[in-house]
Amino acid sequence: MGGADVQQDGMFSYISLESRVPASHPLRGIKVLLDEALKSMSRDVERVYAREGRPSIPPERLVRASALQVLYSIRSERLLCEQLDYNLLFHWFVGFSADEPIWDHSTFTKNRDRLIAAAVKSMRRRDGSDDPPGPGRNATVNWHGEKRSNETHVSPQDPQAKLFTKGDRQAGKLSHMGHALLAYRHGLIVDVEATEANCYAERQAALKMIDRQPSRA
């Protein structure tokens, strides 16, 4: 005979999320690499934390959640936060405890934009003529009346990142570019290439990936 299908919520959970994730799951390796990168940026990341008023989202969690959105092709922040709420794997990867509430999607978007803006403010003049940053974790940078470009400014933490914008009236963001080559018949990704962010990278990467494909003589 089959067992009784008793459905009852437990008051307490004694199993950690860590134990729910298989040792061989690919997200484990990605999390290690991501956490190492975030640790190297800890001094700058701490400046984004709110020191008073309503608590902000930890920048490390914003980065991990954004990585999940890219890796799993989640098309919107609303869907990302929805999956974070019920997906224990995502819960673990971002750093939530099992019973910790998830952000609203609008809160996530606002905090992510603030993090991106803070990254741009970390840029320094290539000639070293900047004024020293102000004291404390929340040191401000006065960009009023000053133009920034890839020729005059660089990010100390990520010198290869470039200011890039998708439109004439949009603010530039520190960026890299990722390119994918798809098989025409099946729509499967057959090659990828990471490049500097510039106006010529897409066509150059496309030619490079096509040249890497085996000939079909």
Q: Are residues 45 and 87 in the same domain?
A: yes
> 193-199 long-range CB contacts below 8 Å, 24 or more apart?
196/160, 196/162, 197/161, 197/162, 197/163, 197/164, 198/162, 198/164
Q: Are residues 159 and 116 in the same domain?
A: no
Query: Mind listing the pLDDT tens digit for each residue in 95-115?
Result: 998 888 888 888 888 878 777
102 and 81 Cβ atoms separated by less than 8 Å: yes
Contact 30, 67 (CB under 8 A): yes
Strand, coil or helix: 24: coil
Domain that holds residue 31: 15-122
**Domain contains 60:** yes
Only one residue has tokens 């990254």, namely: 119
Q: Return left, alpha or beta for 73; rule: phi > 0 is left, psi -120 to 50 is alpha, else beta.
A: left
Residues 21 and 117 in one domain: yes
The DSSP annotation for 115-133 comes to HHHHHHHT-EETTS-PPPP
Residue 175 has pLDDT above 50, yes or no: yes
pLDDT in tens, 179-215: 999 888 888 889 999 999 898 999 999 999 999 998 7
Is 133 inside a domain boundary? no
